[in-house]
Amino acid sequence: MTAVVLATACAVVYGTADFLGGLATKRSQVFAVVALSQLAGLAFVLALLPVLPGSFSPGALLWGMSAGLAGAAGLVLFYWALANGVMSVVAPATATMSAAVPVAYGLAVGERPEPVALAGVVVAITAVLLVSRDPSAGASRSTLAPLLAALVSGAGFGGFFILLSHAPQGTGLWPLLGARVASITVVVLLALATRRALRPGRGSLRVIAAAGVLDMAANVLYLFAAQQGLLSLVAVLVSLYPASTLVLARYVLGERLHPVQIAGVVAALVAVGLIATA
């Protein structure tokens, strides 16, 4: 039950971080938002290291850095797919793959959740697919390349979950430190190579910093959840984060939710309930 609570809280915090990141990109370039939010997350995890101590080990850093590289690759491909494809195709493909890959991996290595929990996994993946849909987006730019990039991007995010779950027990937040150092390095190098400005837009720095801190807080929750529960269940619960982003967009910005997205939010709640009762 503890792992379910942590994973569900992680999804809520991830969704809130994405919501704030989306607000920030209205005033700043994407690379500036990503790089600066990651730096804020790095500062946050450095502040937490003395509070949530763990034993340093090279293995913890290496697993964390591997996870960070997978996550950074997924992020770059995701933004490329959004820029060159259709959001209503790219977003659900990425989100569904990021949920499906850890589930498949967990089952492959011998995890055997209870039947009711497996039913919850199926409902959860369906929920991710539904809440990520945007029926109002056009389909004129839909091509095979962005779809493939979206699928690989989702696999990168799923890889982040898998690799981070392999961090040795008792190493505290050292894996997350390694992950953030690796991802920041990749993002900054790409920004420099493509000559993208990293200066935030006026009035957006606080929002960017809040997004980065919440993203790292979600990573902390995921790390603890993965250490206490089955990867095939924890990762799929975490992947429900688009539901909280949608709810915030509805009640903070007044955005209209489409019926298919409302159905996805309901399915997400059902999935959490099923997995929690297992």
Q: What is the pLDDT of residue 277?
A: 74
Handedness of CA 55, 58, 63, 68 (dihedral sign): positive
Instruction: Grade residue 136 by pLDDT with cuts at 50, 70 and 90.
Output: low
Residue 110 clears pLDDT 80, i.e. is over it: yes
Instruction: Grade residue 113 by pLDDT with cuts at 50, 70 and 90.
Output: confident
Encoded tokens for 183:
């991802």
The pTM score is 0.86
Instruction: Grade residue 215 by pLDDT with cuts at 50, 70 and 90.
Output: very high
Q: What is the pLDDT of residue 139?
A: 52
Q: What is the pLDDT of residue 260?
A: 86
pLDDT tens digits, residue range 141-193? 556 788 888 899 889 999 999 999 999 988 989 999 999 999 999 888 888 88
CA dihedral of residues 63, 67, 70, 74 (deg, nearest 10): 180
Contact residues for 240 (Cβ-Cβ < 8 A; gap 6+): 8, 11, 124, 127, 128, 131, 268, 271, 272
Instruction: Grade residue 137 by pLDDT with cuts at 50, 70 and 90.
Output: low
